[in-house]
Amino acid sequence: MDTNKEDQGAEKVPVFGSWRRTYWFVALFFVVEVVAFYVFTQHYS
């Protein structure tokens, strides 16, 4: 089993250029989904 600690932190940066931007995108996407589901629920209930 290869558990070299130097290689563990060498992950490629995601599409948005940094992990911080990726986390912001995921959080904002979640908020947009929640709002969209709320609006759809109110409209079709």
Give pLDDT tens digits for 1-27.
Answer: 556 665 666 677 778 888 899 999 999
Give the separation between CA 18 and CA 21, rounded to whole angstroms: 5
Model confidence at 28, pLDDT cuts 50, 70, 90, reads: very high
What span, in angstroms and rounded, lies between the C-alpha atoms of 17 and 39?
A: 32
Q: Enter the pTM of the model.
A: 0.67
- Residue 20 has a pLDDT of 92
Reported as a pLDDT band with limits 50, 70 and 90, residue 42 is very high
- Tokens in use for 13? 């940066």
Task: Determine the Cα–Cα distance for residues 17 and 22; give it in Å rounded to an integer.
Answer: 8
The full set of domain ranges for the chain reads 15-44
DSSP state letter for 18:
S
Task: Report H helices in 1-45.
Answer: 5-8, 19-44
